[in-house]
Structure formats: C-alpha cells, structure tokens
Structure 1
Amino acid sequence: MRPHRTPAIVLAAEPAVAAESAPALGTLPVWKLEDLYPSSTSAEFTRDLEKAEKDTLAFEAKWKGKLAEAAAATGEQGIGAALGEYEALDDLLGRLASYAGLTYYSDMTNTANGKFFGDVQAKLTDLSGHLLFFTLELNRIDDAVMNACMDRDPAAGHYRPWIVDLRKDKPFQLEDRIEQLFLEKSMTGAGAFNRLFDETLASLRFTIDGEALPLEATLNLLQDADPERRRVAALALSATFKENIRIFVLVTNTLAKDKDISDRWRGFEDIADSRHLSNRVERDVVDALASAVKAAYPRLSHRYYAMKAKWLGMDTLNYWDRNAPLPESSDRVIPWDEAKETVLSAYGRFAPEMAAIAGRFFDGGWIDAPARPGKAPGAFAHPTVPSAHPYVLVNYLGKPRDVMTLAHELGHGVHQVLAGAQGALMCQTPLTLAETASVFGEMLTFRALLDQTKDRRERKAMLAQKVEDMINTVVRQIAFYEFERKVHTARKEGELTAETIGELWLSVQAESLGPAISISEGYETWWAYIPHFIHSPFYVYAYAFGDCLVNSLYAVYRQAEAGFQDKYFELLKAGGTKHHSELLKPFGLDATDPSFWAKGLSMIESLIDELEALDDTP
C-alpha cells in the first residue's frame, strides 16, 4: 500500500505468532524506532516538538504576506530561501508525525499509544495551520513573475518541479480562511472517523473453534489447505463484520459525504478528480486503464477461476476458496531468514545496489514483522522523512504470499531511500508511480524463484499463485475502484444503508470474479475491512496502474541490453520531480497510448496460457 505521514514508541517485542509456529518462523524483527526518538517522553522528542512550534511561528511572522515581494528578491530575502526554510520545517514536522504514527500502528489497541498519537496529531494540525498561508500565497503570484523568479534565483529554481506541481492545485484553491477551517476541522472530521475505523478493526475478534483471533490471522486461514477451515474462517469473518456493520456504515457514509462537500467547494467535476490531481495523472488515462481491465475480466479472472474450480474438483468455487492453495502447493512454513535470502538474492541478481539498500532494512531494525494483537493489519512501507529512513510493516506468517509481500514492501523502501535525495518537498512520488518499484520487486522475486523450479507440479503452483496475485492486484483493485465510484455516486442522493452498500459490493464482485465463483450469503459485508476506502478514497487503481506498468517495464528489461538498471534507478531517484510520461519515455513506454494497458494485461493472460499448457501436459 502507498504510505502516508501519520504512522511512533518502540514497544517491547511480543511473541511473533502463536507459540507452536514461532520456532518454524525463526526470530522475527521489530522496529528500532529509536532512530527517530528514544521514546514519546524523551527529551529529544519534547525538544523537537518545542522547536517545531517556535520555528513555525517564526516562519509565519517572517514570510506571511511578503511572498510577492520575495519573488522579486534573491538571497536570504528571496523565494528560494523561504522554500529552504519551509522544507526544513516539513522534514521536522514529518519526523514527529512519523514517530507518533508508527508507535500507534505498533499497537492500535493500546490507549496510551492512541492518546499520544491523537495529541501529536492535534499539535501538528495546529502548527500546519500556521504554514497554510505559504502554498496559498505562492499560488497567487502571477505565473510570469514566478517563472522569472525561478530563472533568476538558483535557490528558487532548485524547487521548480515542486512549484510547477503546486500550481496545478491553483484552480481548486479556496480563500485562506476557508482552507484554514478545512484543515483545523479535519482532525475532528475525516481524521476522527479514520481513527475510529482503525481502532474498531484492530479490536475485532473472530471466533474459530472457540479461539478468538484478530483479523490478520483469520484472513490467513482463507489460504488454508483444509476447505472446512476456510469455510469456518469465512463464516467467522462474516459474522463479526455483520455484528459491527453499523459502525462501518456510519464511517463510510460520513467520509463519502465529507469528500462530497470538499469536492463541491473546490469545484472538482468527477468524484475521483481530486485523487487524479494528487496522483498527477489524467482522468482519461485512468478511465482507459479501468475500461481495459473490465473488458479483460472474462479473459483473466473468469477464465482463471474456472480452471481453478476444476483443479479443486468443484463445479464452482465458494467465495472463501478464491485464494485456496492448489493440491500441488507446498504447505511448508517459510522461515524468516529464508524469506530474507530469497528477496535479497533476487534483488541482487538485478542490481547489487538494490540488494544493498534492501539489506539495510534487515540490518538496521527498519522492519516490524511479527503478527501480534493490536498491530496494524496488512503491510506498508512508511517513508518517514529524508533526514531519517523508511520503515516497513508486515505481518509475517510464513506463507509464500508473505514472501512476496516482503518483496513488495522492500521495493517501496528502496524507492523511498533513493527518492529521499530530492528532499522533503520533492521526494514524494505520485501513487500511480509509487507502486512501480514495489511490483517490480515482486516480479524480480517471482521470476528468480520460477527460474529455479524444474518440477512441473511446483511450477504450476507457483504460476497459479502469481496469477492470483496479479488478479488481486489488477482485477480486484479495479473492481474496488468501481465499487467506490458506485458508493460515492449513490451517497450524493442520501445516506446509504448496509443493504445498499452490500448490494453495490456484490454487483461489482460478481462482475469481476465471474460465474466460476459462487457468492453466497455473508459476503455482502466484506467491503467493511478494506482500509483504502477509508484512508485514501480511489487510491486502489494505483495498484492496477503499477502492475500493468511493471508488466510492460519488465518486458523491456528482458529484452534490453546493458543500461536498463541505470535508467530504472534514475526513475526511482526522481521521486516527485517528473511526470509519468517523462519518466517512462526512456523505456519507450507511454501510459497515454490506449494499447499500453493491453500490453500489460497480455502478460497476465500469457501466464494463464502457460498454466493451461501445464495442465494439459501429462
């Protein structure tokens, strides 16, 4: 998932997994958050929080109302100097926010962590209010004046990509006091409902054979080889979601309405336009992607799940069998050290520099791997700030998919390390390209393992898992995007009931999964646990964008002569300084070309072809 700057104190390491499986996994690492601050009550944290307030107020007093004048100056009184000070503040505030957030995500059920996170958020929101003038005032400077300023002043010229990017927001910018109100109310509005969602999800327990399990462990059972275990897990998920559905319905209705209000005030035409703007991608490019994927449903997911049903000896799959392992799949638990070696060796074969950067995550305490109660579910790579280093969160349970998740998040981490040289203002990559390095890291790891596999049955199991992962990344995420579009569109007409949201969910799931999967009672609530719908509306298409892009990129790599790695590292190092069209041009790729998405989807289809051929081989 694309990270955000709100994940803070190192907690005592708890058992990674249930006692009986811990020895098989080996020693799992936990974060070394001391690299940010020794603790939430440390002198260092208190000092930086006080410094942030002092420097923020001083910056406001120095520059507010004076940027038009600064555009005509150079040196310490010029725009370049102001931008340098603003970037230093952004890094400091980001460090504080990252520490508070990472502490909270370490155990979201810990009330002390929740209070710390909430208090820091409140303080930083207040300080951000004193900085809000800067971008608004910059955007009021005439284009010709700003261009002349950047040409004349090298310090301002350094930030040209950021300034040009910022000015794309200009048509949707509101009057200063309204922007101030939106910012200050965000903590008691959208921010509060985001936190309610997180803490509710972390506290949920699902009863399996008399044992109360958290979400991550229960979802993991959907990959169990025993069909009865999968069925029981699915029913437990459905039962608990249903018991708590009123909270999820309230959160969804509130946030959809909150977004609608914001979009209306800002003048966005389409419900996803604000996301496209933040991603720096054109609406027609996303529409072309979504249309291409939807048209490919029959050739991809429908076809694959029909094959899988046959392999499992079923006419149709139950919805809880979607990610079931094949009979050929190994049920071996993969120790952490083996997962580490697998990913680093795959990275190293592509480029030693890539493996060296990823190795720092293992050696430096930059990874939190144990699955434990209260910890954030899923996985992410958090960039923190350029003056520090990223952190990766996974919930490692020893499944093959966990190894691929590790490869994915380390791809993000490598990207964040390389882009960090651009500085706090220009290191952030738009979401559409932020998934490039992560999906590419997965592909490198998969191909390395596949090349080493000679046994036909093992190869079939590996190919099937990869196809499923790609379907989950492309088909499932575009279905999620379509579901969000339906929900946000329907919300404009009034508050939505659980039944209405469930119907919308089932409609897109049936369309995307196809007739080979039987969707029965209980599945109508499974939209409730998807965090992207809450934290980042319309984020999900970035996964499909990244997967299709990487499929095309990987095809170029397989055919390329020497020099591909250098161009690839230049892409990652660019951070947010270049548009996707400029970054892809050296590889001969163009996301605005309608055939671009077809090329990416054809790779998934070719893997299904290979699976079918293996199935026919005696």
Structure 2
Amino acid sequence: MTYSLNWDLDSIFPGGSQSAQLAQRMTKLKEQTHSYHQLIDQWQPEADTNYQELTAILELQGSISDGFSQCNSFINALLSSNIKDKQAKILSGDLYALLPAIQLAETIFSKKITAISDEQWQQLITLPDFQPIAFRLGEIRRDGQKLLSEDAENIINTLSLDGLNAWSSHYDTIVATITIPFKENGQEVQLSAGQAFNRMMGDPDPEVRAALFDKWEAAWSEKAPLLADTLNHLDGFRLSNYQLHGETDFLENPLNYNRMKKETLDAMWATIQKNKQPFVDFLTRKAQLFGKNKMEWQDQDAPIILGDLKEKTFSFDAAAEFILENFQKFSPKMADFAKTAFEKSWIEAEDRPDKRPGGYCTELPETKESRIFMTFGNSINEVATLAHELGHAFHSSVMWDLPVLDREYAMNVAETASTFAELIVADATLKEAQTPEEKINLLDTKMQNAIAMFMNIHARFIFENKFYTARQNGLLSEDEITELMLEAQKESYQDSLGTYHPHFWASKLHFFIDDVPFYNFPYTFGYLFSMGIYAYANQQGSNFEDQYIALLRDTASMSSEDLAKKHLGVDLTQPDFWQAGIDQVIKDVNEFMQLTEGYVTK
C-alpha cells in the first residue's frame, strides 16, 4: 500500500492526549491571553497616532487565534478517531475554559474599535498596514455596536461553557454510547454509529439497508428524550443570547456569519422550490429501478446496479491516484497539494469501530497544514467525500500567507471549494463510463449530492426554522420535535418518499454544533456557487487556476454578494444565477431519465 489509512497526529503534538507539547501550548495560550488583556486595557485609540499599539494587539490576537485552532483541531482529531478517549474530552474542556478570557479581551477591543470617531476610522482603514484587513475590522466595529457591558458579556461567555458548549459536548457523549447490532456472516457484531450509517445508506443489498434503517431509527428513538433535552437547551441558550443582544430574528446571526443578505438566501430557496419536480421525478424513477413505487429513505444513496454491472470499487490508493490525476487537469497546484496530503498522512480513513461518524477537514494554522477525517468504504461515494475534504484543505492552503483576519472565511464559501473538487471527480468518472448501465450508476452517484442539497438540506433548513420559532415559546417534547422533522421532510421532498426518517434531528450532528448556527443552507449555497465556478472554469480553460485561487483568497475579505460580483460578474440576490446552476443539474436528471427509460416496467 502506498498511502496510509491513518493520519499522523504526532507531527502536530507528539504523545496523543498525554502530549507534553500540547500542554505547553495551552499554557502559553493562557499567558498570551493575559498579555492580550494588558495590551487592550492600556490601548487608547485616540493617542495611538502611529498605530503601533494596534498593530501589536492584532499580532497577538492572530497568535492566540492560531494557537487555539491548532490545539482545538488536534484534540478534536483525537476524539474523532477514538470516541472513548476520555483524556481528550477533558483536554477539550480545559481548552474551552480559556475562551471566556479570550472573548472578554475581544469584547473590550471591539468596544474600543466601535468608539473610534468616524474621521479617525476612515484615516485608519486607508493606511497600507490596515487596508488589507479593512473589511474584517469593519465587521468587528459593526458587531461591537451590539455588545453589552464588559461584565455582562463576560458572564454570558463564562456561562456558555456549562451551557451552549456543554450541551454540544453532551451530544458527543450520547453518540458514543450508541451501537447498532448487525448480523454478518452468521455472527452478530456491534457497529458504531459511523459504521452503521455507511452500511445503511450505501450497501448494495436492499435487505441490509432496510434492516439497518429500522435498527438505526430505533437506536436514535431510544436516545430521543436525552437528545430532545440537549437540543432544547442548546438552542434555548442561543435564543436567549440573541435576545439579550437585541436580535429579534434568529436568522440574523447565521446570515451575518455567512456574510449573506436575506435576499440572497430567499432567492436561492425560492428558485430551488420552483424546480423541485425534476428531482421528485428522479427519486421516483430510482425507486422504480429498485422495484418500488416510491423512494424509501435508506435507498436514496444506494447504488443502482443494472444488467451485469458490478459496482466499481476503489482501494484507498486507487482513489488517491484517481483524484490526483483529475485534479491535475484543472489545477496542477491543487494536485500537488493533494499529493502532499496523501504522502504526509494527513488523512484518517480507516474503517474501524470507535470512530465518530461523518467526515470533515480541520485546519492547523501554526504548522500550515490540514487534517482530514472520514471512514473510507471503497465506493465512489467515499472517493467523492475524499475529494470534497481535499477541496477544503486546498482552500486553506492558498490563504496561509494572509493575515489571520483575512483567513476567517465563512461556511458557505468554504463549501464552494470542497464541492468544486467533488464535481471534478464526478465528471471524471462519468467520462470513463463504458456502458449505459455504468453511466446510469455514475449519474446517480453524482445526483446524490443534488438530492442532498435540494431536498435533504432544504428539509433541515425548514425544520430548524420551525424549531427555533416554536422554541421561542418554550420547550418542545421529543414527539413535537420528531413531528416537526417529519413535516419538514415531507414538505421538502414534496411527499415523494415512501418512508421518512423522523429521528433524523437526533442522528444529525449538525443540529448540535455550538459554534455555527443553521449548519445547513451554506451547503446548498456552496454547491450552487461551485456550479457557477465550475461552468466558468470550463470556459476559461488553462487561465482558470490563478483566477480560482484569487477567488478563494478573497473569501474572508468581502461579502458573498461582492465576491460573486467581483469574480463571476453575477448578482446573487436575483434568481438568474441560481437557476443557471440548477439547470446544469437538470441536464444530468434528463440524461438519467432517458437512459433508464427502458429499464422501467410499464
């Protein structure tokens, strides 16, 4: 085997959760935070005429931000690869205990930035040292206007450790107790949540999928009372925080975080809603190919095997080579970067128990590296996931030389680079198809992403909207939450499914993440935004690479609307851009419908 299935964490901090170097860095973080407080307390903006003190504050702020991210990424990696690492969980608590002091310093800094006169502010942001970060400083100045007193903000941040953050962590604790019994080769085995999910949604045997789905629903239903408490209090804390800061619209915060206008979000969802029918038709046709009248939840991502087709599988090495070969056609720099990630063992891909479900890419700013977590199962789906996460990592890599403030891109544009990388792999596999049956299989694989974005994630958005609205009036029971989820799925899928996943709200980590609210619509934004970039790339040919990197480097220094206008010349608040992206996907649907016509019994 050429590439390791396990990531290298010792090159970050040797010794795992017992690492002395990690302990030293966390101690240094505490010391840096103390110095940060001193610098900010002493800073008098009107007297800092040459802005040397402000420069020193921003440099130390950057070092603290990078150090916290480095430690947090490492600890989270330990927990992801071994959900039973109790010491890592303690370390996570120790690290987050540093947050209130950091946040208090940032509160004081934001208030002082906000208090600067308009005349001095305009002078400041035109200076060469500050012009590159003027947009981000402007966001700090804007957000500072909503802040409460320093004492009040400190109380909220301190309480969040045993409130917002604690409830999110509690979700991980519950998930670690979940095992799914499954008979394999005549013996019963206990699958972790991650293993069970991969088998349930991707196994070619429909009986395996159905059996696992029933057990999956039962497992989450059993934990539903605990998870209902968790979700109620996590989002209740968040809503209280919004209210204290004068935010009456719970979408205001996630929209500001993603640097998006409400008009953009509305235009995107409205355009998707108008174009649901082709995707309903696709799901119905796929169900018919499985011998069913309607699509069942667990069959959405199942492979379509027609005729004598044997589903193509990939070893991890083969997946790596396929990705490298096709990245090279679009961007040699992206291919070179991905090769480094494989060669330096930045990827945890082994299929084994005690791993957290799902996949992600995390940044290590102090070593200017990334780490990728997933469970590789040899299917084209996992190849796509691998490409997706490498896209995230490449995005980070082209920004390491920028100031820290200009590296803090939001989730919606983060999903652009990852989905773009996925599109490269999807189209490459389609071009290699030798028979109609193989092309049907690969078109279906490509369409799984579109169904997720337009149906599944839309359901998540509808659910969270309704949950937050209801939660403002009090706690919801587990049955009420489950009913909201079921209603959202039926609305989004337009009643096109034969079975639904009522406890999806319990099984999906994204609803329980504490740092990013509404962890859903940015995925759909990124998917359609990447479709626009992908079409643009195909038009530009060899001139694309530098333009693409320039776009990625701007992702944290302007609004989403300005980014699209500058690099693509489009208006995101209008339906035209979104319709153009959806039209590209509908072409794939139409081809799928034509190719499968002869396989459906009349």
Taking structure 2 as the reference length, what is the TM-score of the superposition? 0.93
Q: Say whether residues 1:96 and 2:71 are aligned partners.
A: yes
Secondary structure of 1:392's counterpart equals: strand
CA deviation digits over 1:312-371, x for unaligned, max 9?
A: 121223322222221236345420001101111111111111100111111112111113
Whole-angstrom CA distance in 1 between matches of 2:124 and 2:299: 61
CA deviation digits over 1:140-180, x for unaligned, max 9?
A: 3233322212334x333343232023233234322221111
Q: Say whether residues 1:417 and 2:394 are aligned partners.
A: no
Find the counterpart in structure 2 of residue 469 from structure 1: 449
Q: How far off is 1:41 after superposition? A: 4.1
Is the Cα contact below 8 Å between 1:474 and 1:547 reproduced in 2? no
Secondary structure of 2:190's counterpart equals: strand
Q: Say whether residues 1:612 and 2:593 are aligned partners.
A: yes
Matches within 5 A, 1:139-538: 139-152=114-127, 154-209=128-183, 210-222=188-200, 223-300=202-279, 302-328=280-306, 330-385=310-365, 387-519=367-499, 523-535=501-513, 536-538=516-518
CA deviation digits over 1:476-520, x for unaligned, max 9?
A: 112211110011111112211111111111111112223442126
Whole-angstrom CA distance in 1 between matches of 2:431 and 2:443: 11
Q: How far off is 1:186 after superposition? A: 1.4
Whole-angstrom CA distance in 2 between matches of 1:237 and 1:594: 39
**Change over 3 Å in CA distance of 1:436–1:321 after alignment to 2:** same
Whole-angstrom CA distance in 1 between matches of 2:369 and 2:164: 28
Is the Cα contact below 8 Å between 2:108 and 2:150 reproduced in 1? yes
Is the Cα contact below 8 Å between 2:46 and 2:116 reproduced in 1? no
Is the Cα contact below 8 Å between 2:195 and 2:353 reproduced in 1? no
Whole-angstrom CA distance in 2 between matches of 1:359 and 1:185: 44
36-45 or 527-536, which deviates more: 36-45
Secondary structure of 1:203's counterpart equals: coil
Whole-angstrom CA distance in 2 between matches of 1:217 and 1:426: 37
Secondary structure of 1:514's counterpart equals: coil
Find the counterpart in structure 2 of residue 76 from structure 1: 52
Is the Cα contact below 8 Å between 1:94 and 1:384 reproduced in 2? yes
Whole-angstrom CA distance in 1 between matches of 2:475 and 2:217: 23
Is the Cα contact below 8 Å between 2:110 and 2:141 reproduced in 1? no
Q: 1:594 aligns with which of 564, 575, 578?
A: 575
Q: How far off is 1:132 after superposition? A: 3.8
Secondary structure of 1:64's counterpart equals: helix
Whole-angstrom CA distance in 1 between matches of 2:585 and 2:458: 15
557-566 or 236-245, which deviates more: 557-566
599-608 or 316-325, which deviates more: 316-325
Q: How far off is 1:591 after superposition? A: 1.3
The one-letter amino acid of 1:266's match is H
Is the Cα contact below 8 Å between 1:26 and 1:335 reproduced in 2? no
**Change over 3 Å in CA distance of 1:343–1:603 after alignment to 2:** same
Whole-angstrom CA distance in 1 between matches of 2:238 and 2:511: 12
Find the counterpart in structure 1 of residue 8 from structure 2: 32
303-312 or 578-587, which deviates more: 578-587
CA deviation digits over 1:25-67, x for unaligned, max 9?
A: 9964222122322234444333323322222212312331524
CA deviation digits over 1:222-265, x for unaligned, max 9?
A: 22222211111011001111111111100111112111101111
Whole-angstrom CA distance in 2 between matches of 1:172 and 1:213: 47
Secondary structure of 2:130's counterpart equals: helix
Identity of aligned residues (%): 24
Find the counterpart in structure 1 of residue 532 from structure 2: 552
79-88 or 238-247, which deviates more: 79-88
Is the Cα contact below 8 Å between 1:506 and 1:524 reproduced in 2? yes
Matches within 5 A, 1:42-81: 42-69=19-46, 72-74=48-50, 76-77=52-53, 79-81=54-56
Q: 2:62 aligns with which of 52, 66, 87?
A: 87
**Change over 3 Å in CA distance of 1:494–1:47 after alignment to 2:** closer
RMSD: 2.1
Q: Say whether residues 1:123 and 2:102 are aligned partners.
A: no
Secondary structure of 2:126's counterpart equals: helix
Secondary structure of 1:419's counterpart equals: coil
**Change over 3 Å in CA distance of 1:424–1:35 after alignment to 2:** farther
Secondary structure of 2:361's counterpart equals: strand
The one-letter amino acid of 2:123's match is A
**Change over 3 Å in CA distance of 1:493–1:98 after alignment to 2:** same
Whole-angstrom CA distance in 1 between matches of 2:367 and 2:406: 13
Find the counterpart in structure 2 of residue 5 from structure 1: none
Is the Cα contact below 8 Å between 2:235 and 2:468 reproduced in 1? yes
Secondary structure of 1:45's counterpart equals: helix
Residues matched between the structures, number: 588
The one-letter amino acid of 2:266's match is D
Q: How far off is 1:97 after superposition? A: 2.5
Structure 1 gaps, min length 5: 1-24
Whole-angstrom CA distance in 1 between matches of 2:5 and 2:199: 23
Whole-angstrom CA distance in 2 between matches of 1:613 and 1:376: 40
**Change over 3 Å in CA distance of 1:73–1:35 after alignment to 2:** farther
**Change over 3 Å in CA distance of 1:65–1:428 after alignment to 2:** same
The one-letter amino acid of 1:218's match is A
Q: 2:84 aligns with which of 75, 90, 109?
A: 109
Q: How far off is 1:94 after superposition? A: 2.5
Find the counterpart in structure 2 of residue 3 from structure 1: none
Q: Say whether residues 1:577 and 2:557 are aligned partners.
A: yes
The one-letter amino acid of 1:249's match is A
Whole-angstrom CA distance in 1 between matches of 2:340 and 2:253: 36
Secondary structure of 1:421's counterpart equals: coil
Secondary structure of 1:248's counterpart equals: helix
Is the Cα contact below 8 Å between 2:470 and 2:476 reproduced in 1? yes
Structure 2 gaps, min length 5: none
Is the Cα contact below 8 Å between 1:293 and 1:478 reproduced in 2? no
Whole-angstrom CA distance in 2 between matches of 1:464 and 1:239: 29
CA deviation digits over 1:369-416, x for unaligned, max 9?
A: 113333221000112325431111111111211110001000000001
Find the counterpart in structure 2 of residue 13 from structure 1: none
Secondary structure of 2:449's counterpart equals: helix
Find the counterpart in structure 1 of residue 108 from structure 2: 133
